[in-house]
Homo-oligomer: A and B are copies of this chain.
């Protein structure tokens, strides 16, 4: 039923709980990870627990349309987490997060620190991006190339402006905090939420909207670069093609063979110019401009 994608366990395997995470497979190839944001979010959190030796983690991709999947999980949708030792199946995001929360608490992992001001800045970004995406894709219907932002009518430009405003707010927050992750030097649930969403915005912006995250948001780009150097993100990140396919499917757009036949690739680099700005500002001192 499922193709196993297994993270190798590190060290002693007996005392640690084994958590199996079932994630949605790509619509292109059921052996590849799909672009479900909640799946990636929990995968990143589990990876954080795995990295410090608190839990064993196995991730499995599942084809939600297969009869075998439907029959085994009776209507539950990924992400689904199973803890066999306890005979527990967590089919609800609240339950999955509850279990990860308790493990993190038990081992003093600061994964769930609260920060209302960071929460406020990130909560509307993705919703507004989706409104922009839907409106612009509708407007561009039948055009060969995505229209330029300058040419958009006011009612679509308002969505564009909101997305930029929110990206700017996050850039601002990061510049004030001067930290690697949103709350400090270690990853929290906010990063597990924001990083995959920023990456989707980038990949879908470039491929379907003729939109890129503004290059002057240096701190935001530096944060994206951090994502591309964070094992929890890299490991759980779907290929560009699988992300594009996911959105095209939902918007009922024509899927050309570009995505389905290409070898999967992952854009985990940032524009040269932005990279040099990051270096000039003395952020991320380990960055070498190519």
Given contacts A92-B93, A94-B93, contact A74 B250 (CB under 8 A): yes
**Contact mask for chain A residues 74-96; partner B; CB cutoff 8 A; 1 contact, 0 none:** 11010000000001110011100
Q: Is the CB of A92 within 8 A of B38?
A: yes
Contacts of A87 in B (CB 8 A): 124, 127
Q: Is the CB of B88 within 8 A of A127?
A: yes
Q: Tell me the chain A residues, 89-145 only, with Cβ under 8 Å from chain B.
A: 89, 92-94, 97, 123-124, 127, 130, 133-134
Partner of A246, one of B36, B75, B123: B75
The secondary structure that dominates the A interface is helix
A252 to B249, CA, bound (A): 25
Judged by a CB distance under 8 angstroms, whether A151 is at the interface is no
Q: Is the CB of A71 within 8 A of B246?
A: no
Contacts of A77 in B (CB 8 A): 77
What's the interface size class on A, roughly? Answer: 20 to 34
Q: Is the CB of A130 within 8 A of B74?
A: yes
A74 to B138, CA, bound (A): 13
Residue of A36, A87, A247 contacting most chain B CB atoms (<10 Å): A87
Q: Is the CB of A67 within 8 A of B130?
A: no
Nearest Cβ distance between residue A120 and chain B, in whole angstroms?
A: 12
A92 to B39, CA, bound (A): 12
User: What are 21 A-B interface contacts by the 8 Å CB criterion?
Assistant: A38-B92, A70-B249, A70-B250, A70-B251, A70-B252, A71-B134, A71-B250, A71-B251, A71-B252, A74-B130, A74-B133, A74-B247, A74-B251, A75-B246, A75-B250, A87-B127, A88-B124, A88-B127, A89-B127, A92-B93, A94-B97
